[in-house]
Amino acid sequence: MFNLFHLSLKLSGFPIAKAQADFEKILQISETDYPDYLETKKREIVEFHLKNNTFYQNLVGKESFDPEVSGWNDLPVLTKKDLQKTLKDRLSKGYSEKTVFVNKTSGSSGDPFVFAKDKEAHAITWASIIHRFGWYDVDFNSSYQARFYGIPLDFIGYRKERLKDFLSKRYRFPIFDLSDNVLDGVFKHFKSKKFDYINGYTSSIVLFGKYLQARNIVLTDVCPTLKVCMVTSEMLFEEDKILLEKHLGIPVVNEYGASELDLIAFQNNKDEWQVNSETLFVEILDENNQPLPYGKEGKVVITSLYNKAHPFIRYEIGDVGILDEKSTLKKPILKKLIGRTSDVALLPSGKKSPGLTFYYVTKSIIEDDGNVKEFIVRQTKLDSFEIDYVSSIELTSKQIQEIEKAIANYLEPGLHFTYNRKEVLERTKRGKLKQFQSML
């Protein structure tokens, strides 16, 4: 089998073979030796960034880390707001935007920013993803993926994603319009293509599941090659999981990840949400940033153990969760994740679109200047939306035009928007910013 996927990573400068070998070594570390390994990795990454990253030095307020003198819990907790500075001011010595992997977060928590990973860290992220998908007999070089994801609609961005899809053996269904006639087309693809697995946003796949339910269809009857479905980015509710397993005819696996980090937790074959302890260190903290015991609910705070280009050390991701009492340092289990849900927008034409579409639109126009700090979108009527945002300077009419042009392009023309610049945005009781709210 020609390993096109591995080749495409290699050609982009990501040392995937070495990363997979390194990842295998981490997997071999015993439960007994794991705490020492983890302490070493935590100390190394902090020391590296204190020595080589001015942004992190300023945040911590010193240039060295001695766990004997001041412990891990004395290190500051990084928030997304801390990261809303131009990327070049956050990169470590020896790295430039040309030599690292650069991407933008979706802004689904309302705080979008541009981030970077060095090539080795990005390769080990892929090693971790390949390993976990392998639990379900999915091979990125040979398995064919049906992908429910957004796609940039500008010509170059669109072509680039389609090429990436081709190299990664996946067929993408754009999710900006999921009305029934579009889902008819999606269904036709399943009848004619030998897909091995489905991957994509929870709400989009659930809409497709409901489409199948209404027609009393089990997808594996028309596409028997399907083995598994991985859902990501939004909360998967138990009743939706039951509906999907029934009408897709395959197991549904819950994935929790963040583009700036890695897969954070992935459902294993025992139906546990196993946390990625190989490349990340996941903590649950209280309001005063102190660690909570297993079984207690608190803020999810994550350290990336391998990213040298950019510090993600005690990084607050914006979710609330609970680690299971039976967790160990080598095998932490996420008992519950609270947050990350997204409504569906209903539009005048009858089109249904996931709330995540708005993240794509805002993502496609928010530049790396850190001006817009947070935003939420509220649907007030079928054709009317309000955007509340916090920014250093008011959105210009040119930016507003860009937003509306993009929205007309992604969703449909003739929608009305009101923009409210705010000092602060209202949050849920848990401190979560619900980025899209439907008032219908």
Provide the residue ranges of all domains of the chain, joining segments of one domain with +. Answer: 4-125+259-338, 137-250, 344-438
**Cα separation of the two ends of the chain:** 51
pLDDT at 150: 78
What's the predicted TM-score (pTM) here? 0.77
What's the number of CA atoms in the CB half-sphere (13 Å) around residue 133?
23
| Helix and strand element counts for the chain (H, E) | 12, 19
C-beta contacts of 59-67 below 8 A and 24+ residues apart = 67/39, 67/43
Would you say domain 137-250 falls under CATH 3.30.70?
A: no
Print pLDDT tens along the chain (440 aa).
447 778 778 878 888 899 999 999 999 999 999 999 999 999 999 999 999 999 999 999 887 787 777 789 999 999 988 998 899 999 999 999 999 998 887 655 556 788 999 999 999 999 999 999 999 999 988 999 999 987 877 888 889 888 888 888 999 997 777 778 889 999 999 999 999 999 998 878 888 998 999 899 999 999 999 999 999 877 787 878 999 999 999 999 999 998 899 999 999 999 999 999 999 999 999 989 999 999 998 999 999 999 999 999 999 988 888 999 999 999 999 998 875 444 678 889 988 887 767 766 765 666 545 577 667 888 999 999 998 887 878 988 888 888 888 888 888 899 999 999 987 777 554 344 666 888 88
The DSSP annotation for 307-368 comes to: --SS--SSEEEEEEEEE-TT--SSS-EEEEEE-----EEE-TTS-EEETHHHHHHHHHH--T
Q: One-letter amino acid identity for 166?
A: F
* Rounded CA Rg of the chain: 22
Report the interhelical angle of 202-214 vs 238-248 (nearest 10°).
60
Q: One-letter amino acid identity for 31?
A: E
Ramachandran region, residue 152 (left: φ > 0; alpha: ψ -120 to 50; beta: rest): beta
Chain-centroid distance of CA 16 in Å reads 21
pLDDT at 431: 40
CATH fold of 4-125+259-338 reads Rossmann fold (3.40.50)
- The pLDDT > 70 percentage for the chain reads 91
pLDDT at 369: 58
| Tens digits of residue pLDDT in 44-86 | 999 999 999 999 999 998 877 877 777 899 999 999 889 988 9
Quick check: helix, strand or coil at residue 439?
coil
Ramachandran region, residue 107 (left: φ > 0; alpha: ψ -120 to 50; beta: rest): left
Query: What is the rounded distance in angstroms from the CA atom of residue 274 to the CA atom of residue 317?
Result: 18
Query: What is the rounded distance in angstroms from the CA atom of residue 355 to the CA atom of residue 339?
Result: 14
Answer yes or no: are the C-beta atoms of 115 and 97 closer than 8 Å.
Answer: no
Query: What is the rounded distance in angstroms from the CA atom of residue 301 to the CA atom of residue 314?
Result: 5
Answer yes or no: are the C-beta atoms of 176 and 411 closer than 8 Å.
Answer: yes
Query: What is the rounded distance in angstroms from the CA atom of residue 171 to the CA atom of residue 165?
Result: 6
Of all helices (H) and strands (E), which one includes residue 115?
strand 114-117
Query: What is the rounded distance in angstroms from the CA atom of residue 227 to the CA atom of residue 348?
Result: 37
CATH fold of 344-438 reads GMP Synthetase; Chain A, domain 3 (3.30.300)
Quick check: helix, strand or coil at residue 103?
strand
CB neighbours (10 Å) of residue 71? 10
| Tens digits of residue pLDDT in 262-291 | 999 999 999 999 999 999 999 999 989 999
Closest CA to 346 of 357, 336, 338: 357
Q: Is there a common fold for 4-125+259-338 and 137-250?
A: yes
Answer yes or no: are the C-beta atoms of 164 and 4 closer than 8 Å.
Answer: no
Q: One-letter amino acid identity for 411?
A: L
Q: The dihedral of CA 82, 292, 124, 61: what is its sign?
A: positive
